[in-house]
């Protein structure tokens, strides 16, 4: 940096994502007097975070929150972070910023960048974050801003794969393509994606499971805590069960419907049933869905040198400090992850808070000078 050039803003910890994992990581780091930037794609995209999708179903197992719908929960997390704004703290006469700056922004690209003279880089390098800070529109070029961080916490979670029922193929934006599915998603009588979360709504009721193979098997096994009145719908795809699994399903009287689903049968935002290709209509009290997931990590590009250890779904592998591992099993300096994006964890809110705290504190720890 030459004399006279403005010093660039350097955040101690940049958190990508403002769900429970990201919010907790940010609050924990700010609590250790760190200068924290949180990037939240929610306000500028349809990436609202998984908790948001609990639209009319109350979340009743999240710590310290009474029954709260997902939309209100995400708002409460934003308020929690906003209550810790950036201020100047002075320790032994050295002033530095501490607190949380919350920015609307969709992370597009994460790269490593060299520190300039006088800049402290605990990872041996700094992180540069390329972010779209206004809604992305087809016809307009994106509004890009760049931020610099000493450490990064990845808490951008994953998106559930939605079913191709009454999908608007010509629509480019996801929320238009899946408008019909989204009408019913996350409602008490609608598409649920988490048997642990929403199974309690359907005790001894008729439950449809839209999934195949091991995903369907996992839901069916989990669902038995709530009801035995199950049916598996494959929506025209091969069922993917082993002979032994098929025998168990038969034994349990769980029907397997392999016909394609062509339409929802609903009233307002309530999903009541589905119409099959043959015209047959099936009615249920609840609808569970698991068609897999898409990790929200497209900003970690191979061409930028990111070679991270992932599980077979693309979730990131971390060590006990929440530090991301590379493909050789080595912790990547300065890079942490928390929440649903972490492999091998329960995808639940309390887990996301715990992983967020671990990553936020670990990122703070590596910034200590001695
Ligand atoms: C319908 C539904 C109901 C659920 N019910 C329950 C329940 O009752 N109890 C329970 O414990 N769990 C429940 N869960 C699971 C729970 O919501 C998740 O486990 C939890 O939200 C994960 O937290 P997270 O912070 O890791 O990710 P998320 O909550 O998914 O948050 C991810 C954040 O990252 C942001 N983001 C994504 N991509 C980018 C990007 N490129 N740049 C910047 N930001 C980005 C998103 O906008 C969001 O702010 C439910 C999930 C769903 C879908």
| DSSP labels, 106-169 | EEEEEEEEPPPTT---TTSSEEEEEEE-S---TTS---EEEEEEEEEEE---EEEPPP-SS--T
Residue 1 has pLDDT above 50, yes or no: no
Domain boundary residue, one of 240, 273, 289: 289
The answer to whether residues 131 and 263 belong to one domain is no
Domain boundary residue, one of 289, 308, 338: 289
**What local confidence, expressed as pLDDT, does residue 4 receive?**
45
What are the CA-CA distances from residue 119 to residues 8, 76, 301, 339 (Å)?
10, 35, 25, 30
First to last CA, the chain: 26
Instruction: Check pocket membership of 107 for ligand 1, CB cut-off 6 A.
Output: yes
The answer to whether residues 332 and 300 belong to one domain is yes
Which tokens in the block code for residue 199?
A: 């199974």
DSSP-derived letter for residue 308 is: B
The answer to whether residues 174 and 149 belong to one domain is no
The count of C-alpha atoms lying within 13 angstroms of the C-alpha of 121, restricted to the half-sphere facing its C-beta, is 16
The answer to whether residues 29 and 93 belong to one domain is yes
Residue 78 lies in a domain: yes
Residue 119 has pLDDT above 80, yes or no: yes
Residue 24 lies in a domain: yes
Please say whether the beta carbons of 10 and 119 come within 8 A: yes
> H or E element: which one contains 30?
helix 20-31
**What local confidence, expressed as pLDDT, does residue 175 receive?**
84
The answer to whether residues 218 and 103 belong to one domain is no
pLDDT band, residue 253 (cuts 50/70/90): very high
Work out whether the CA dihedral 362, 297, 41, 343 comes out positive or negative: negative
Average pLDDT of span 80-84: 97
Domain boundary residue, one of 235, 267, 289: 289
**Pocket test residue of 58, 81, 157, 289 for ligand 1, highest count of atoms within 8 A of CB:** 157
**What local confidence, expressed as pLDDT, does residue 192 receive?**
96
pLDDT in tens, 299-330: 999 999 999 999 999 999 999 999 999 999 99
The answer to whether residues 337 and 361 belong to one domain is yes
DSSP-derived letter for residue 278 is: T
**What local confidence, expressed as pLDDT, does residue 139 receive?**
65
Residue 5 has pLDDT above 70, yes or no: no
Q: Could you list the residue range(s) of the whole structural domain that residue 59 is in?
A: 10-159+293-365
Residue 4 lies in a domain: no
The answer to whether residues 254 and 220 belong to one domain is yes
Residue 3 has pLDDT above 80, yes or no: no
Q: How far apart are CA 129 and CA 103, in angstroms?
A: 13
Total-model pTM:
0.95
107 Cα nearest atom in ligand 1: 42
The answer to whether residues 33 and 152 belong to one domain is yes
198 Cα nearest atom in ligand 1: 8
The answer to whether residues 95 and 179 belong to one domain is no
Average pLDDT of span 232-259: 97
Residue 356 lies in a domain: yes
Percent of the chain whose pLDDT exceeds 70: 98
| CATH number of residue 55's parent domain | 3.50.50.60
Average pLDDT of span 205-220: 97
């Amino acid at each position: 940096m030459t004399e006279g050039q403005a010093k660039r803003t350097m955040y101690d910890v940049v958190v990508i994502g403002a769900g429970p994992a990201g919010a907790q990581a940010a609050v924990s780091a700010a609590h250790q007097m760190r200068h924290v930037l949180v990037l939240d794609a929610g306000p500028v995209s349809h990436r609202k975070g998984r908790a948001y999708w609990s639209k009319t179903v109350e979340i009743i197992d999240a710590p310290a929150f009474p029954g709260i719908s997902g939309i209100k929960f995400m708002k409460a997390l934003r308020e929690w972070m906003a209550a810790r704004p950036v201020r100047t703290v002075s320790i032994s006469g050295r002033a530095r910023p501490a607190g949380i700056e919350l920015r609307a922004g969709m992370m597009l690209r994460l790269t490593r960048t060299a520190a300039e003279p006088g800049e402290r880089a605990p990872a041996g390098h700094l992180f540069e974050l390329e972010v779209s800070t206004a809604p992305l529109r087809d016809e307009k070029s994106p509004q890009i801003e760049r931020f610099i961080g000493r450490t990064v916490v990845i808490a951008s979670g994953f998106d559930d794969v939605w079913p191709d029922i009454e999908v608007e193929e010509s629509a480019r934006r996801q929320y238009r393509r899946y408008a019909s599915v989204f009408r019913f998603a996350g409602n008490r009588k609608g598409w649920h994606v988490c048997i642990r979360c929403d199974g309690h709504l359907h005790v001894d009721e008729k439950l449809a499971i839209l999934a195949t193979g091991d995903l369907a098997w996992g839901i069916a096994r989990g669902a038995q805590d709530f009801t035995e009145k199950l049916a598996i719908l494959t929506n025209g795809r091969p069922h993917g069960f082993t002979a032994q699994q098929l025998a168990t399903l038969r034994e349990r009287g769980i029907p397997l419907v392999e016909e394609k689903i062509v339409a929802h049968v609903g009233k307002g935002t309530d999903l009541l049933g589905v119409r099959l290709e043959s015209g047959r209509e099936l009615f249920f009290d609840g609808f569970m869905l698991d068609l897999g997931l898409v990790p929200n990590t497209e900003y970690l590009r191979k061409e930028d040198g990111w070679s991270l250890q992932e599980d077979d779904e693309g979730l990131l592998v971390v060590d006990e400090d929440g530090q991301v591992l590379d493909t050789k099993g080595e912790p990547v300096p300065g890079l942490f992850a928390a929440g649903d994006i972490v492999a091998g964890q329960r995808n639940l809110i309390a887990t996301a808070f715990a992983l967020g705290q671990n990553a936020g504190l670990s990122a703070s720890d590596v910034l200590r000078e001695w």
